[in-house]
Amino acid sequence: MHAHFSTKERILSAAEELFARHGFAGASLRQVTAAANVNLAAVNYHFGSKDNLINEVFRRRLDELTARRLSALQSVRETGAPSLESLLEAFVLPALNLATDRFGGSAFMRVLARAYAEHDQTLRKFLSDNYGHVLKSFAHAIQDVLPDLSKEDLYWRLDFISGALTYAMSDFGVVRRPAGRSDDEHRRHAAHEFVRFAAAGLRAP
């Protein structure tokens, strides 16, 4: 555990939190640098531009998220005959763990939901170029488990699942956390509910 974080890291964390709360256009570099206790000019020195700062906010978390997802997928496949539920868990749990990470990251799921809502071509291309292969790996693994599902139906359903997961992870909407349940337990429960729901949806006739 480090008591000190670099200027770059502090900028990234502050940007993540403020982009989650106000959006990419809505959060200014002045707000970011004030929250990070850093000089305004430091952003351009370390990141060059606001657009590039946005990309780096994604890269920091997504690199680890995809690594964890692919590693979990590998573990599940090594068991020989993975269940649909175990494949979905390999996709969902790393996102959940990131969201519950005490070093921050819960804001990142909201940033990701923003990115989904943005139809910005530049951002989409960056995401699909760098992380599209993860979705493909999971699609193949799920296809193996559901050989009777047509490729088109599979992609429709994965699309629905992605949307549902993004929104569920960023905000547990109408479902309020019961009084006696911790935030972590609430999220774990959410993941379990989600996997059951998604598995049933994928198995639809």
Partner DNA sequence: GTCTATAAGCCGATAGAC
Partner DNA sequence: GTCTATCGGCTTATAGAC
Q: Which residues bind DNA (CB under 7 A)?
A: 7, 28-31, 38-46, 48-51
Taking CB under 8 A as the criterion, which residues in 154-173 touch its own copies? 155-168, 170-173
Q: How far is the CB of 23 from its own copies (least distance, A)?
A: 6
Q: How many residues bind its own copies (CB under 8 A)?
A: 49
In angstroms, rounded to a whole number, what is the distance separating the alpha carbons of residues 37 and 34? Answer: 5
Q: Rounded to 10 degrees, what is the CA torsion of 67, 112, 93, 105? A: 80
Q: Pick one of DNA, its own copies, none as the site partner of residue 40 (Cβ within 5 to 8 A by kind).
A: DNA
Please tell me whether residue 15 binds its own copies under the rule CB under 8 A: no
CB-hemisphere CA count at 13 Å for 165?
22
For its own copies, the closer CB: 58 or 194: 194
Q: Are the C-beta atoms of residues 149 and 202 closer than 8 Å to each other?
A: yes
Q: Are the C-beta atoms of residues 52 and 117 closer than 8 Å to each other?
A: no
CA angle, 118 as apex, 135 and 142 as ends, to 5°?
15
Binding interface with its own copies (CB under 8 A): 20-26, 110, 113-114, 116-119, 135, 152-153, 155-168, 170-175, 190, 193-194, 196-201, 203-205
